[in-house]
Amino acid sequence: MIYLDHAATSWPKPPEVLAAMHDFLERAGGNPGRSGHRLSIAAGRVVYDAREALAGFFGINDPLRVIFTLNATHALNIAIQGLLQPGDRVVTGGMEHNAVMRPLRGMEARGVQVVVAPADGAGMLSPAAFAEALQTGAKLVIVNHASNVCGSIAPVAEIAALAHQAGALVLVDAAQSAGVIPTDLPALGADLLAFTGHKGLQGPPGTGGLVLADTFDPAQLQPLVRGGTGSRSEYEIQPDDLPDRYESGTPNGAGIAGLGAGLKWLLERGAAVREHELALAARLREGLGNIPGLQLYGPADPRQATGVISFTLAGKRVSEIGYRLDEEFDIQSRVGLHCAPAAHRSLGTFPQGTVRLALGPTTAPEEIETVLRAVARIAQT
């Protein structure tokens, strides 16, 4: 099988991830932060070590500013619902996933003004479009760091500088970028960054987080979920302390153990992972571009994109292409709208969608050649 759906979830996970999860359940199985016995402390240490490693990975000093969540969607909802009030204005770009657009439309119904700075036909966001949208100010700017549809990488630092000049906070959706390209909060100019654990970071599903910049004041961010934290138990009001303010309920300890192992695996490989994916993406784009009737989407320069490639074939439904890739060639892709109708509108592929091929660290060069032969065959018949 050739697995090219890493943008949905990375697979296979490194064996170290499975081992860490097994070890957590077998050896450190207490409830982290709820009791004082050894199993609880052991579990707490595993969660803390992952928190500390992630803080370093995202370029912040204080590990308590890494808030664990179920996924990027959960983290984005904490930020969007916790920061915005009726009457606020929020600016986002034309490449957003529904993980941003749906909470934003929900807030719009409650009196938040939502402005979308358009993307171009290659899926690129322009600082000029954000500058124009920011002329009347905003409370928050939300930027999709890398598109889940065509891989395009946004000029986040430039957009963030404009946002800060206009007095807005910056929230970065790093669901597709974390573990794939640098996601250092200070370098990006992000005040808040949402990530998922089960894609580029190689961890299991059910993990993710919201990272708060060292300079961000949490007083302006209301918690989404309130409840038990194992701390300040004598009070029935939610504590203000980080990370407990945003982490009520038992955390996904086994998942977080796996996420920590995934991050370690990735850090051991360093920049080689990105270079590997870039080389394969360049070859895949080149080969697909030579197939008659095939339309590629996204930036022509592979360095402006992650290893996520979208295409359509003239006269073929994307669902048929995806089905044939799977049935005839054992190639796993994802077709359709990829939960991102806004991005597909920007690319001109709404509502039919595209076929998406998403590379990962374990994708082999010969698999790319097999995929190219398969797509060429489907195009002919």
User: Measured from the CB atom, is 219 or 314 closer to other proteins?
Assistant: 219
Strands (E) located in 252-324: 294-297, 308-313
Q: Is residue 40 near other proteins by the rule CB under 8 A?
A: yes
Helix 318-329 vs helix 365-380: angle between axes, to the nearest 10 degrees? 120
CB of 359 within 8 A of CB of 6?
yes
What part of residues 9-38 is at the interface with other proteins (CB under 8 A)? 32-37
The residue length of the chain stands at: 381
Is 233 a residue that touches other proteins (CB under 8 A)?
yes
Q: List the interface residues with other proteins, window 349-378 (CB under 8 A).
A: none
- CB nearer to other proteins: pick between 22 and 37: 37
Which among 64, 131, 282, 339 is annotated as catalytic?
339
Structural contact between residues 302 and 92, judged by C-beta atoms closer than 8 angstroms: no
Asked whether the CA dihedral 5, 160, 303, 278 is positive or negative, the reply is negative
List the one residue from 165, 231, 290, 352 that touches other proteins (CB under 8 A): 231
Report 63-92 residues binding other proteins (CB under 8 A): 63-64
CB of residue 220 to other proteins, shortest distance in Å = 20
N-to-C CA span, the chain: 22
Distance CA 356, CA 4 (A): 8
Stretch that binds other proteins, among 62-70, 79-87, 130-138, 359-367 (CB under 8 A): 62-70
155 binds other proteins (CB under 8 A): no
One of 11, 16, 23, 41 touching other proteins (CB under 8 A): 41
Using rule CB under 8 A, residue 348 touches other proteins: no
Structure tokens at 258: 């796996």
- Are 131 and 121 a contacting pair, CB within 8 Å? no
According to CB under 8 A, which one of 3, 17, 44, 96 is a site residue for other proteins? 44
Is 150 in the active site?
no
Could you give phi then psi for residue 380, rounded to 5 degrees? -85, -25
Out of 1, 19, 56, 61, the only residue in the binding site for other proteins (CB under 8 A) is 61
Q: Does 136 bind other proteins (CB under 8 A)?
A: no
Q: How far apart are CA 375 and CA 258, in angstroms?
A: 35
Token pair recorded at residue 230: 């194992």
Where does this chain touch other proteins (CB under 8 A) — which range of 140-148, 193-201, 223-231, 275-283?
223-231
Identify the residue among 62, 217, 328, 369 touching other proteins (CB under 8 A). Answer: 62
Of 232, 269, 303, 377, the one binding other proteins by CB under 8 A:
232
- The letter for the amino acid at 65 is R
Site for other proteins in 238-257 (CB under 8 A): 239, 241-244
State the number of binding residues for other proteins (CB under 8 A): 28
Task: Give the residue among 338, 354, 289, 358 at the shortest CA–CA distance from 95.
Answer: 338
Residues 176, 153, 161, CA angle at the centre, nearest 5°? 110
Which CB, 56 or 121, lies closer to other proteins? Answer: 56
163: helix, strand or coil = helix
The number of beta carbons lying within 10 Å of the beta carbon of residue 22 is 13
Residues designated as active site: 339
Interaction site with other proteins (CB under 8 A): 32-37, 40-41, 44-45, 48, 51-52, 61-64, 229-234, 239, 241-244
